[in-house]
Amino acid sequence: MPAFEYTPANLSEIERTLSADRLRPYQVGVGGNMELAIRLYEHNTLLAESLYGVLQGLEVSLRNTIHAQLTAGYGQAEW
C-alpha cells in the first residue's frame, strides 16, 4: 500500500471534512501551512488516544466512588 500523499486536493478534502474552524488553531500554530496543521492535528489525536486508558480508569474510579458515597448517604444502593 503506497504512503498517503498530502496533495493539494487531499488537503482541501481533509479541511472540508474536518472543518476549517477545527483546523484553524493548528494552522495558526504552524504559520498557515495546511499540511503541517493536519499533521499536528493527527499528532494531537495520537496523544489523546494514548491517554484513553488513564482516563477510562479515572472515570470508573470516580463513578464507583460517587456510587459508594451516595449508597452510604442514602442507606441503599438504589439512590
In a domain? residue 79: no
In a domain? residue 3: no
66: left (phi over 0), alpha (psi -120 to 50) or beta: alpha
In a domain? residue 2: no
Residue 70 confidence (pLDDT): 95
pLDDT confidence band for 6 (50 / 70 / 90): very high
| Cell matching residue 17 | 471534512
In a domain? residue 44: yes
The residue segments making up the domain with residue 23 are 8-74
pTM greater than 0.85 (yes/no): no
In a domain? residue 13: yes
In a domain? residue 45: yes
Residue 1 confidence (pLDDT): 81
In a domain? residue 61: yes
In a domain? residue 15: yes
**Are 38 and 25 within 8 A, CB to CB?**
no
47-76 burial, b if ≥16 CB within 10 A, otherwise e? eeeeeeeeeeeeeeeeeeeeeeeeeeeeee
Number of domains in the chain: 1
More confident residue, 21 or 78: 21
Listed in sequence order, the residues at least 6 apart from 39 whose beta carbon sits closer than 8 Å to its beta carbon are 6
pLDDT tens per residue across span 9-62? 999 999 999 999 999 999 999 999 999 999 999 999 999 999 999 999 999 999
